[in-house]
Amino acid sequence: MKRILIFLLPILIIVAVVFTVFGIIQVKIEQEKLMDELYRKAKSVAETTEVSVQHIIKDNDKKAARRLVDSFQKRERLQGCVLYDQHGKVLAITERIAEWQAKDKAYLQQVVENRQVEAGMQKFKDLSIYSYAIPVMDDSEKVIGVVELIYDTSYVYTRLAELWRNISVTLSIIVLLIIIIVLLIQRQIFVVPVKKLTEWFHLYQKGEIDDKHPIKDSGELGKLASEVEQVALSLRVARKTIAGEAQARLKVDEQWTETKLRDLVLAKLGENALFVVSNREPYMHVLDEITGQAKWTRPASGVVTALDPVLRACGGTWVAHGSGNADKKFVNSKNKLGVPPDDNRYILKRVWLTKLEEEGYYYGFANEGLWPLCHVTHTRPVFREEDWEMYQKVNQKFADSILEELPAKNPFVFIQDYHFTLLPRMIKESRPDATIALFWHIPWPNPEVFSICPYYQEILDGMLGCDLIGFHVQFHCNNFLETANRLIESRVDTEKFSIVRAGRETVIKPFPISVDTVNSKKEGQESLNQKAEKIRIELELTDKIIGLGVERIDYTKGLIERVQAIDRFFEKYPQYKGKVVFVQLAAPSRTHIKRYHDLMGEIDELIEKTNWKYSDTNWQPIIYLKRHFSPEEILPYYKLADFCVVSSLHDGMNLVAKEFVSAKDDLRGSLILSRFTGAAKELEQAIQINPYSIEEFAAAIKQAIEMPREEQARRMAIMRKIVQENNVYKWAGSIITELTALKKEKA
Ligand code: ADQ
């Protein structure tokens, strides 16, 4: 549009200038013509009245004078006639211009003295008047009086204004015609062919049509089309070859890796790229508070930890809320960018939310409502009608953003978590051909608990727009099946683990999420050990037994209970004072919510109290590092730790437990793991605890510290094997395999 304006604007300016000049000339000519007409008319009338006026004055015939001036009263427009004697005294005047007598008329003097006609424009009240004054002489050529004819000239200006109006209307019509013609030409020679070429490219490279490109032009556009044709052909061939090779490689049974997942995606999804949706974006751009420069970071989030390697492996598009304060600077016109920012492997599309939307949908409904509802941690869920309205609005916003990205046929959409329960139905209604999966990263409670939510009907109905819903463990699947069975009209198939609602089936399955056990090892052992030793020196941990916690600050993670257990541990086993140090890495999270804000204060206070209680000049029991760490920064802490504590009061899976195990390639160290995490179902060799039991927790710390090296190694080896075999690539691979199988079944 901007380019058309650049082209159109000079033409329109030239046309407007020409028309204005033409208009000015036209008006001037017309004005002169009208004034000339008036002059002639006045002259002729004056000459015809001159003789009779001569007699009237000579005979002092007042009646005849009256008749004469009255005859003007009947004439069109405002006209009149005035008879004067030779001294300028009014003898008779037409009634409708009676007030004209009062006007000071210096020019009458001139008429008498010079014996000449005086004609010109005069002001009378608000009117413009044309006056024509002629001397009346007797037979001896002596001036005996004056006849003045008066004409209202306002009709002249009315005529001129009409002329201007006509010129303007003609100009507007011409401008409009020029715009329409230019737009039509532009559409015909550019928009239509380019649109056709784009559609053709889209279908041809995917192998959906075999026609030649549709551009008939032999000029520059034709050349461009021919280049596009070559690219489309190469792409089509490459896709086919890659998918074939991938299929062949998949047959080999080997450990799940990035490459194997990529092969699976290519072989199973083929041309259909993967679309992932989550609230949290995998990479955010933020302004550095000190330098003011924009930099990118990876948020502390289990969902991001799990899905980023999957998307890196198989490409696709990830749609998420753009929440970084410098995010807008780094997207293209479609709000997209290639990520990771230093090695573009897939596309991130950012969706913008207003503060009000974020407040209601994210902080309010999702995190003050659904999050505590699904975690049994005795924090009361809050449901506000205005939050629910925002939640619906934002789900629709995401649906619109995704729908405009989906390809023409059979797309795969993989939705993450409790932020988007309404999204599956919204997408399915517009695109019934889309295969949709939702993965629920947090626990699912029993029907009684879930029915507390005033909107449970809408939420369940929205979720059942999916073809597949995944949870971490079977227990959460069972809870969900029971919830649907009890709370909404549906049929639960306990053999297939599926729910049928309004003739549509949704399969419910467990897919235990995991970590990337392949790429996390990319950094050389040597540099990792160096980093770990540097931390040991900086934090004065030499000769100390090191415990570690890595968390987002959240009430579900059991941080308060952990500090209480550490306190109890030193109380019960004082021999460890000065010998054991617990390092806690903690990323502030959802700090706008009061419960989270208060929790931060509570933890600060409790740690300070515990440190004050036990520390001496050379030692303090807890080192609290409250900030966000990058995955590369966290890894050396895992290396360094003798034991790691995961004390969640309730957790869907918990990736920290798996990250710790995955990092321990020297088989050293032990894991204390809450029984209420999904991970506890897989990592049976961890020291499992009930974090609510402070005694049991403190004893577990002692057990972890005193566990013989061989026992540590035996347990760690088993846990490592489990995590390695069931890494995040297997998790994603299983979901994709299940989805494609469902799609085939439907077909
Ligand atoms: P979370 O509760 O966010 O997510 P969790 O499994 O505890 O997930 O993983 C947290 C991630 O954040 C880990 O990768 C960890 O390394 C990282 N992290 C922790 N502290 C950090 C810090 N201070 N700085 C930077 N990064 C930090 C949800 C569910 C979980 C489920 C995951 C994945 O609540 O139960 O395991 O999703 O499905």
Q: Which atom of ligand 1 is nearest to the CA of 655?
A: 6
Residue nearest ligand 1's atom 2 by CA:
302
Q: Which atom of ligand 1 is nearest to the CA of 646?
A: 7
Q: How do residues 144-181 score in pLDDT, each as one tens digit?
A: 999 999 988 888 888 889 999 999 999 999 999 998 99
Question: For residue 732, how far is its CA from the centre of ligand 1 (angstroms)?
Answer: 18
Please measure the distance between the N-terminal and C-terminal CA atoms of the chain and give it in whole angstroms: 44
Question: For residue 436, how far is its CA from the centre of ligand 1 (angstroms)?
Answer: 25
Residue from 127, 69, 116 nearest 96 by CA: 69
The whole-number pLDDT of residue 329 equals 94
As beta bridge partners, residue 625 has 585
The whole-number pLDDT of residue 487 equals 97
Q: Which atom of ligand 1 is nearest to the CA of 441?
A: 38
- Rounded CA-CA distance 103/123 in Å is 9
The whole-number pLDDT of residue 746 equals 66
User: Candidates 373, 374, 441, 627: which one to mutate for ligand 1, based on the most atoms within 8 Å of Cβ?
Assistant: 441
- Predicted confidence (pLDDT) at residue 208 exceeds the cutoff of 70: yes
User: Candidates 418, 656, 682: which one to mutate for ligand 1, based on the most atoms within 8 Å of Cβ?
Assistant: 656
Is the Cβ–Cβ distance between 679 and 657 less than 8 Å? yes
- Estimate the crossing angle of helix 631-640 against helix 525-538, to 10 degrees: 80
Q: Strand 127-137 relative to strand 143-152: parallel, antiparallel, unpaired?
A: antiparallel
Q: Strand 317-321 relative to strand 274-277: parallel, antiparallel, unpaired?
A: parallel
Q: DSSP 3-state assignment of 172?
A: helix
CATH number of 32-152: 3.30.450.20
CA angle 297, 553, 696 (to 5 degrees): 135
The whole-number pLDDT of residue 245 equals 64
Amino acid at 192: V
Label residue 48 exposed, middle or buried (CB < 10 Å: 0-12, 13-18, 19+).
exposed
Question: For residue 472, how far is its CA from the centre of ligand 1 (angstroms)?
Answer: 14
Q: What are the distances in angstroms from CA 287 to CA 13, 292, 403?
A: 45, 6, 31
Residue nearest ligand 1's atom 17 by CA:
300
Q: How do residues 318-363 score in pLDDT, each as one tens digit?
A: 999 999 999 999 999 999 999 999 888 899 999 999 999 999 999 9
- Rounded CA-CA distance 362/358 in Å is 5
- Predicted confidence (pLDDT) at residue 252 exceeds the cutoff of 60: no
DSSP class of residue 464 equals T
Tokens of 371: 């999050």
- Predicted confidence (pLDDT) at residue 402 exceeds the cutoff of 80: yes
**What mean pLDDT do residues 37-51 have?**
86
Q: Which atom of ligand 1 is nearest to the CA of 301?
A: 3
Neighbours of 729 (CB within 10 A): 26
Q: Which atom of ligand 1 is nearest to the CA of 552?
A: 20
Give Cα 147 distance to the centre of its chain. Answer: 82
Residue from 467, 466, 415, 440 nearest 274 by CA: 415
Question: How many percent of the chain have pLDDT more than 70?
Answer: 96
Residue from 575, 536, 546, 529 nearest 704 by CA: 546
Tokens of 98: 């009676």
**What mean pLDDT do residues 100-124 have?**
86
Is the Cβ–Cβ distance between 66 and 52 less than 8 Å? no
The whole-number pLDDT of residue 138 equals 87
Look at the block and give the residue holding tokens 């515990």.
Answer: 610
Residue from 337, 326, 307, 330 nearest 417 by CA: 307
Question: For residue 238, how far is its CA from the centre of ligand 1 (angstroms)?
Answer: 38
Is the Cβ–Cβ distance between 499 and 464 less than 8 Å? yes
- Predicted confidence (pLDDT) at residue 586 exceeds the cutoff of 60: yes
Look at the block and give the residue holding tokens 């009361």.
Answer: 380
Residue from 395, 437, 505 nearest 269 by CA: 437
Question: For residue 166, how far is its CA from the centre of ligand 1 (angstroms)?
Answer: 74
Is the Cβ–Cβ distance between 582 and 621 less than 8 Å? yes
- Predicted confidence (pLDDT) at residue 222 exceeds the cutoff of 80: yes
241 backbone dihedrals φ, ψ, rounded to 5°: -60, -45
Cα-Cα-Cα-Cα dihedral sign, residues 12, 18, 24, 26: negative
Residue nearest ligand 1's atom 19 by CA:
551
- Rounded CA-CA distance 289/285 in Å is 12
Beta strands in 366-512 (DSSP E): 412-416, 435-439, 468-471, 491-493, 498-501, 504-510
Question: For residue 248, how far is its CA from the centre of ligand 1 (angstroms)?
Answer: 36
> Does CATH number 3.40.50.2000 belong to domain 523-726?
yes
Is the Cβ–Cβ distance between 626 and 591 less than 8 Å? no
User: Candidates 279, 281, 297, 305: which one to mutate for ligand 1, based on the most atoms within 8 Å of Cβ?
Assistant: 305
Question: For residue 689, how far is its CA from the centre of ligand 1 (angstroms)?
Answer: 20
Interacting residues of 558 by C-beta distance below 8 A, sequence separation 6+: 647, 648, 649, 674, 691
**CATH homologous superfamily, domain 274-351+407-510:** Glycogen Phosphorylase B; (3.40.50.2000)
- Rounded CA-CA distance 363/354 in Å is 13
- Estimate the crossing angle of helix 154-186 against helix 2-59, to 10 degrees: 170
The runs of H, that is alpha helices, within 251-276 are 258-269
- Predicted confidence (pLDDT) at residue 420 exceeds the cutoff of 80: yes
DSSP class of residue 649 equals S
**What mean pLDDT do residues 264-284 have?**
86
The runs of H, that is alpha helices, within 404-543 are 423-430, 447-450, 456-463, 474-487, 525-538
- Predicted confidence (pLDDT) at residue 1 exceeds the cutoff of 90: no
User: Candidates 286, 562, 638, 654: which one to mutate for ligand 1, based on the most atoms within 8 Å of Cβ?
Assistant: 654
- Predicted confidence (pLDDT) at residue 254 exceeds the cutoff of 80: no
Question: For residue 656, how far is its CA from the centre of ligand 1 (angstroms)?
Answer: 6
Find the residues whose C-beta lies inside 6 A of ligand 1. Answer: 300-303, 305-306, 441-442, 513, 550-552, 585-587, 628-629, 634, 651-656, 659
Count the helices and strands in the chain (H runs, E runs). Answer: 24, 23
Look at the block and give the residue holding tokens 């802490």.
Answer: 637
Least confident of 221-235, 272-286, 720-734: 221-235
The whole-number pLDDT of residue 231 equals 84
Q: How do residues 633-649 score in pLDDT, each as one tens digit?
A: 999 999 999 999 999 99
Q: Which atom of ligand 1 is nearest to the CA of 651?
A: 35
Amino acid at 257: T
- Predicted confidence (pLDDT) at residue 716 exceeds the cutoff of 80: yes
Is the Cβ–Cβ distance between 664 and 720 less than 8 Å? yes
Q: Which atom of ligand 1 is nearest to the CA of 554?
A: 2
Q: Strand 284-287 relative to strand 294-297: parallel, antiparallel, unpaired?
A: antiparallel
Residue nearest ligand 1's atom 15 by CA:
656
How is 604-642 classified by DSSP, letter by letter?
A: HHHHHHHHHHH-BTTB-SEEEEES---HHHHHHHHHH-S
Least confident of 87-101, 520-534, 542-556: 520-534
Question: How many percent of the chain have pLDDT more than 90?
Answer: 61
- Predicted confidence (pLDDT) at residue 547 exceeds the cutoff of 60: yes
Long-range contacts of residues 359-363, Cβ cutoff 8 Å, at least 24 apart: 359/390, 359/592, 360/384, 360/386, 360/387, 360/389, 360/390, 360/391, 360/393, 360/394, 361/387, 361/390, 361/391, 361/393, 361/394, 361/395, 361/419, 362/279, 362/321, 362/394, 362/419, 363/590, 363/592, 363/593
Q: DSSP 3-state assignment of 713?
A: helix
**Verdict on whether the full-model pTM lies above 0.95:** no
Q: Tell me whether domains 32-152 and 523-726 share a fold.
A: no
- Rounded CA-CA distance 134/545 in Å is 126
DSSP class of residue 432 equals T
The whole-number pLDDT of residue 253 equals 58
Element (H, E) at 92: strand 90-93
Residue nearest ligand 1's atom 7 by CA:
654
Cis peptide preceding 340, ω within 30 of 0 = yes
Is the Cβ–Cβ distance between 301 and 439 less than 8 Å? no
- Rounded CA-CA distance 663/522 in Å is 11
Q: Which atom of ligand 1 is nearest to the CA of 634?
A: 16
- Average pLDDT of the chain to the nearest whole number: 91
User: Candidates 278, 301, 557, 628: which one to mutate for ligand 1, based on the most atoms within 8 Å of Cβ?
Assistant: 301
DSSP class of residue 126 equals T
Q: How do residues 592-605 score in pLDDT, each as one tens digit?
A: 999 999 999 999 99
Residue from 739, 36, 53 nearest 414 by CA: 739
**What mean pLDDT do residues 605-609 have?**
98
Question: For residue 510, how far is its CA from the centre of ligand 1 (angstroms)?
Answer: 19
- Rounded CA-CA distance 670/641 in Å is 9
Question: For residue 367, how far is its CA from the centre of ligand 1 (angstroms)?
Answer: 15
Interacting residues of 152 by C-beta distance below 8 A, sequence separation 6+: 77, 78, 79, 127, 128, 129, 130
Q: How do residues 506-528 score in pLDDT, each as one tens digit?
A: 999 999 999 988 766 666 778 89
| Domain spans, the chain | 32-152, 227-268, 274-351+407-510, 523-726
Tokens of 439: 């993965």
Label residue 611 exposed, middle or buried (CB < 10 Å: 0-12, 13-18, 19+).
middle
Cα-Cα-Cα-Cα dihedral sign, residues 523, 526, 532, 538: negative
Residue nearest ligand 1's atom 16 by CA:
656
Interacting residues of 545 by C-beta distance below 8 A, sequence separation 6+: 576, 579, 580, 581, 642, 643, 705
Q: Which atom of ligand 1 is nearest to the CA of 551?
A: 20
Least confident of 509-523, 648-662, 689-703: 509-523
Q: How do residues 304-322 score in pLDDT, each as one tens digit?
A: 988 998 888 888 899 999 9
Question: For residue 115, how far is its CA from the centre of ligand 1 (angstroms)?
Answer: 111
